[in-house]
């Protein structure tokens, strides 16, 4: 079970947004909390990958060796 389901945040949000009705849709499309959180998590993951890539490009031999050690435990 995901965190949103465990805390019922998603259900509360959907209930609130259905009660707000037209107010939320006046600003454009009605935001989906699950989609928003997933998108932000993916953005964070890509940010982390970009930082790792910068490190690898700066020192390909040293960083690559450290990464290999972390992955393969040697």
The domains of the chain are located at: 1-29, 32-74
Which pLDDT score is estimated for 21? Answer: 65
Which pLDDT score is estimated for 71? Answer: 76
Helix axes 9-20, 33-58, angle to 10 degrees: 120
- Distance between CA atoms of 15 and 42, rounded to whole angstroms? 26
31 Cβ neighbours under 8 A, 6+ residues apart = 17, 24
**24 vs 52, more confident:** 52
pTM tops 0.85:
no
- Distance between CA atoms of 33 and 56, rounded to whole angstroms? 35
pLDDT, tens digit (0-9, with 9 covering 90-100), for 9-40:
778 877 777 777 666 655 566 677 788 889 99
Contact 24, 31 (CB under 8 A): yes
- Distance between CA atoms of 63 and 74, rounded to whole angstroms? 14
């Amino acid at each position: 079970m995901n965190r949103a389901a465990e805390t019922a945040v998603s259900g509360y949000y959907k209930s609130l947004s259905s009660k707000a009705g037209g107010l939320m849709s006046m600003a454009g499309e009605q935001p989906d909390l699950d989609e928003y959180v997933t998108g932000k998590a993916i953005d964070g993951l890509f940010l982390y990958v970009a930082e790792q890539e910068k490190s690898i490009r700066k020192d390909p031999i040293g960083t690559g060796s450290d990464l290999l050690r972390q992955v393969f435990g040697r």
